[in-house]
A and B are shown apart, each in its own frame.
Chain A
């Protein structure tokens, strides 16, 4: 009996004989599990199992996506006929220039975890280590999510690609609340369960929430900000998407028209890296079979390239960066590097005269994508720093709440030009509402406008 993953060739042959000019078929199967942690224990288990095939087909520059659920001969024939008929209804995509042409040589696959594939783990044992470490370090309430994923895909294209890949990943997030009304959130991600240190995660997050027992208020004004990795990652995951050519063409990017121009401090380089060995977004090949790569987006502050698939690369007379997305390119893992590095945040705090340590942000929204002007909300505890010392946790929200009561207002150009240093080891950071994980240390950004709630 055929494995599901073996139906790809049948689908591709059917597309070719139906007259498709270009086609890519992805056959997939996978499962995800989400264990929610609520009030210091696991509360629920959600399991998602999916399988099927997706079809990308182009006929006379008419671009159509569809799916096939039932991998059997007749449903495949019907779905392919339907896809090709629907493609004929569309108008042409003038700037479509074809799929990547293989065959390709691929690099080493990133590592996977047999324990995740074989479901050989005890959720209570793993998460209780984190929860107990947080409680032992001053947390009153611990919430979070432990998530494991497994997926297998086979990709076949009319560009001489026939390649398979398996992937595993794990993520554990934690949010703690203390009796003195502060909160902190963090997460660890890895391709393997052994890459997550559950106890360390619990201990460090609880300790962060309790870094200062003092509470205080600040005035509206400009402050030097230290964004810890989860906070920096929230912003940089958006910056990564701004580098994709699809965002640029749609006017949904602050990098429009900036190729070859200064977009950041000269000490900064930003990469998109699909080859990180423990990267949860790493892959061997992109959606059209181009081998994965590390792409330099910004080098020494200058924008070097947008992220492309084969078709958009041809349009702009450049090379694919291995970021297909067939309809539009997408990021793998943005990586942030800075020449000025403090070994940890403590010496950076000592060098800060008037600043704020931002531990987490959410709800980053743009008033204008083209200018990159945004505001974002510190979600968890934020500490006011004066003359090299943490003075107090900012607490200007409703009485009795953990809310800081402040908002950060900036734009990407200014922010990156004013990012003058980093601190600590770069980690894969992934906050709740960040679209991708980002490899980043803590960032030091000078002179950022911070506002507090008012009735104006």
Chain B
């Protein structure tokens, strides 16, 4: 059960009054309290556990067109006053401006765990999971980590918004190394969602780890290498997900488009002159939606108090919307669509993804994709991946992959890398099926680097390259 938040709500309004006192044209304050637990298993032995509880405040304000963000652990009135007594002052005006936002929200929402995160139970179940995995002797190395956190937040801003949220989240990470025929393959599995202990069963950790491990062993034992030019590739939801995240979601973050992340997380193939360009084929529809209940990227109001909604990033192959916060929206003369997020209050909120998804097509099955491909390769999951600074070309190294022969899955294939240009990749999407699977990630951006929980995916897809 959620406990009462251990912060003094009056500190938020006090911080806003202090910001007004120094001449701020806008201010917001976020009180944040979080409890986290983490348990680590290495080769079956409990390496250690961690539990932390922190409370802090972040105060953001705009003065002389500079955007200030100040955070303080264990906040008190005296501490907040001290922060304002020594703010950095700049001689010439800055660039920051926030888009007007009509919504003035007073909201309370919570996604709590169904079952309390009882430490003994988490440990017992995680050890059981690991024991089941340990029976597969061909798994040479295994390293697992499971964690739970509950975050309570209270947000106020000078526009009059007043929002409070409680979100519980559970997630795991497993790294395995499979050995056979004197060689090895590696796989990292992870999942996460809003909720509590009840999710451990839903994650089906041992089942997924063992299934992937067995398939990797088959790839090691009987996988063939393909050196021919492959023009028909069926990609799983996992590959669709990483492709969307890296080559659609990131470059459609408006701060990258404007250049504000150029020295950190990079730039974009989009700029203010080529917006609304065609990115993919007519059947490519991609959206980002933080309001999916229980999802890893869930929220109902962003870090600037803007009400969350679905963003249609690509519609029928055309780029239609960017991810925006209030600062980028002002620069682009539009409205924020509630993409402002931070991993916690130590960091400045940035334009971020949440759950980024390719729309499925109910009329197709996975078998239809294989049949249409006829001869090609199916990539089920990946290991190594990367993309350039402008997000124009990427590589997804297949971990588990299969030959497609006469519309059916055939021999396993090893070391097949899908290396392509972003526009070629999305123009090649010929069919998608009706399945819907999301994989999770912790997406890094900014300086200092901050990771926010996201998910990505959708259906399987057939790519036909020219």
Contacts and interface: CB of A to CB of B under 8 A. Distances in A.
Nearest to A35: B88
A407 B419 CA distance: 10
Nearest to A144: B263
Interface in B10-44: 39-40, 42-43
Interface string B256-268: 0001101111110
B46 to A, nearest CB: 5
A42 B90 contact: yes
A398 B395 CA distance: 16
B452 interface: no
B140 A251 contact: yes
Interface stretch (B161-169, B288-296, B357-365, B383-391): B383-391
A64 B88 contact: no
Interface in A366-408: 366-371, 373-380, 397-398, 401-405, 407
A370 B51 CA distance: 31
A42 B387 CA distance: 28
A32 B387 CA distance: 30
A353 B236 CA distance: 43
A95 interface: yes
Given A43-B67, A454-B419, A368 B383 contact: yes
Contacts of B69: 44-47
B366 interface: no
A397 B141 CA distance: 39
Contacts of A32: 448
Most buried by A among B419, B423, B424: B419
B8 to A, nearest CB: 13
Given A36-B260, A86-B51, A407-B393, 18 more contacts: A38-B95, A39-B95, A46-B69, A47-B71, A49-B71, A64-B48, A64-B49, A64-B51, A69-B53, A93-B45, A145-B263, A175-B262, A367-B384, A368-B185, A375-B395, A404-B388, A432-B263, A432-B265
Given A52-B73, A432-B447, A451-B419, A43 B43 contact: no
Interface string A425-456: 00000001100000000000000000101111
A13 interface: no
A123 B88 CA distance: 8
A141 B390 CA distance: 16
Nearest 10 interchain pairs by C-beta: A251-B141, A363-B386, A453-B393, A63-B48, A367-B384, A175-B263, A455-B465, A143-B263, A44-B67, A65-B50
Nearest to B392: A398
Contacts of A378: 388
B263 A174 contact: yes
Contacts of A145: 263-264, 447
Interface in A1-55: 32-39, 41-52
B203 interface: no
B86 interface: yes
A70 B395 CA distance: 48
A188 interface: no
Contacts of A87: 49
Nearest to B449: A433
> How big is the B interface, by class?
35 or more
Most buried by A among B54, B127, B390: B390
Interface string A156-197: 000000000000000001110100000101000000000000
A249 B424 CA distance: 41
A444 to B, nearest CB: 23
A185 B265 CA distance: 13
Contacts of B447: 34, 36, 145, 147, 173, 432
A95 B44 CA distance: 12
Contact of B259 (A39, A67, A91, A94): A39
A200 interface: no
Interface of B: 39-40, 42-43, 45-55, 66-74, 79, 83, 86-88, 90-92, 94-96, 119-120, 123, 127, 140-143, 175, 177, 184-186, 229-231, 259-260, 262-267, 269, 346-348, 383-390, 392-393, 395, 397, 399, 415, 419-424, 428, 444, 447-449, 465-466
A123 B185 CA distance: 49
Interface of A: 32-39, 41-52, 62-67, 69-70, 82-83, 86-87, 89-95, 119, 123-124, 141, 143-145, 147, 173-175, 177, 183, 185, 249-252, 327-328, 362-371, 373-380, 397-398, 401-405, 407, 432-433, 451, 453-456
B51 A44 contact: no
Contacts of A183: 389
A375 B260 contact: no
A367 B388 contact: no
Contacts of A328: 47
A377 B387 contact: yes
B175 A251 contact: yes
A171 B240 CA distance: 38
Nearest to A121: B88
Most buried by B among A33, A49, A328: A49
A249 B43 CA distance: 8
A327 B39 CA distance: 12
A396 to B, nearest CB: 9
A416 B90 CA distance: 47
A373 B397 CA distance: 11
A378 B390 CA distance: 11
Given A363-B386, A367-B397, A370-B186, A69 B419 contact: no
A69 B74 contact: yes
Contacts of B386: 363-365, 375-377, 407
Contacts of B94: 41-44
A251 B143 contact: yes
A141 B262 contact: yes
A123 B186 CA distance: 46
A92 B42 CA distance: 12
Given A377-B386, A377-B388, A405-B392, A368 B143 contact: no
A49 B53 contact: no
B133 to A, nearest CB: 14
Nearest to A405: B393
A388 B395 CA distance: 31
Nearest to B127: A91
Contacts of B384: 365-367, 373-375
A62 B392 CA distance: 49
B30 to A, nearest CB: 14
25 contacts: A38-B95, A43-B66, A44-B66, A46-B348, A47-B69, A50-B346, A86-B51, A86-B119, A89-B123, A90-B46, A93-B46, A93-B47, A145-B263, A173-B447, A175-B262, A251-B141, A363-B387, A367-B384, A374-B384, A375-B384, A375-B397, A377-B387, A401-B269, A403-B390, A432-B447
A144 B55 CA distance: 30
B90 A123 contact: yes
A277 B390 CA distance: 38
A402 B395 contact: no
A87 B423 CA distance: 53
A49 B419 contact: no
Given A44-B348, A45-B69, A455 B184 contact: no
B389 A47 contact: no
B227 to A, nearest CB: 9
A362 B447 CA distance: 15
A62 B51 CA distance: 14
A44 B68 CA distance: 6
A296 to B, nearest CB: 26
Most buried by A among B51, B91, B262: B262
A455 B74 contact: no
B389 A403 contact: yes
Given A44-B68, A45-B66, A456 B229 contact: yes
A149 B368 CA distance: 57
